[in-house]
Amino acid sequence: MQNINDYNNYLSKKTAELIRENFSTKEITNLLVVKTGQRWKRTLGHIKTLNHKDYGSLIEINPLLFDLDVPEYVLDYVIMHELTHYFQGFASNQERKHKHPHKGGVVEKELARLGWKEIQEKSDKWIKENWSKILVKNNLNPYKKKIRRKRIIRKSILSFIRLFS
């Protein structure tokens, strides 16, 4: 794969496949867009509303996950994490299943229920051990902290996969 368009096409196909295989009893009820985001150092993916939840949802995936050294199951896992938020009613118009997107390990529990426990554990381990190497390989300094600006709370972004948290 060469460029962002290839990545985005791949993400669309992959997401459709994951929905068919894992959420076959559910339906997509608003516009769902999946595309590459930024080369974030500490976020692998997120989901946010597009204009309004009744209109659409946007999942953005860190393009560093397309690095050939990243196992494919890690990318699958990140998409599954965001899809779980979608179907639990976060940043989508689905019925909201929980008060908070992460509290109580609701994503982990749902992924385990769907048969993804092993991949999740394997991915978390891989990320912990290898992510900083991926950053270095892609000319990003894993240690340098960004200058802290005043915290802007962006309400539309409801969830992130944060590293090391």
Q: Of 49-57, 86-94, 120-128, 157-165, which segment contacts Zn ion by CB under 5 A?
A: 157-165
CB of 107 to Zn ion, least distance (A): 6
Residue 62 touching Zn ion (CB under 5 A): no
159 binds Zn ion (CB under 5 A): yes
**Stretch of 7-15, 58-66, 120-128, 156-164 contacting Zn ion, by CB under 5 A:** 156-164
CB of 141 to Zn ion, least distance (A): 25
- Closer Cβ to Zn ion, 36 or 43, answer by number: 43
Nearest distance from C-beta of residue 100 to Zn ion, angstroms: 10
CB closest to Zn ion, residue no:
159
43 lies in the site for Zn ion, by CB under 5 A: no
- The token pair that represents 73 in the structure block: 């199951």
Check: CB of residue 110 under 8 Å from CB of residue 88: yes
Q: Compute the least distance from the CB of residue 162 to Zn ion, in Å.
A: 8
Residue 73's closest CA among 115, 36, 42, 29?
115
Residues contributing to the site for Zn ion (CB under 5 A): 159
